Amino acid sequence: MHADTRKYNAALTAADRAICQRLATLIDAAVPEAENRVWHAHPVWFLDGNPIVGYSKLKDCVRLMDARP
């Protein structure tokens, strides 16, 4: 997990942080070849320079984003 993703997660409430850390762990395990970085202020994973998945904290939930074509 990229340091910026860790920083993003650390700024969340304990409950949201647990969700986001679990998502990051699952994504890293599912797509180990993907590059992770914070993009447009949210953690995103890329394959060959293309975003494939990410997440963001909304007002009342955490949204998992699927960016596959």
| CATH classification at residue 40 | 3.90.1150.200
Range of the domain at 53: 3-66
Q: Does pTM top 0.75 for this prediction?
A: yes
* Sequence-ordered list of residues with C-beta below 8 angstroms from that of 8, at least 6 positions apart, any chain: 20, 38, 42, 43
Q: How far apart are CA 20 and CA 59, in angstroms?
A: 14
Number of domains in the chain: 1
Indicate if the pLDDT at residue 69 is higher than 80. Answer: no
Taking only the tens place, the pLDDT of each residue in 5-58 is 999 999 999 999 999 999 999 999 999 999 999 999 999 999 999 999 999 999
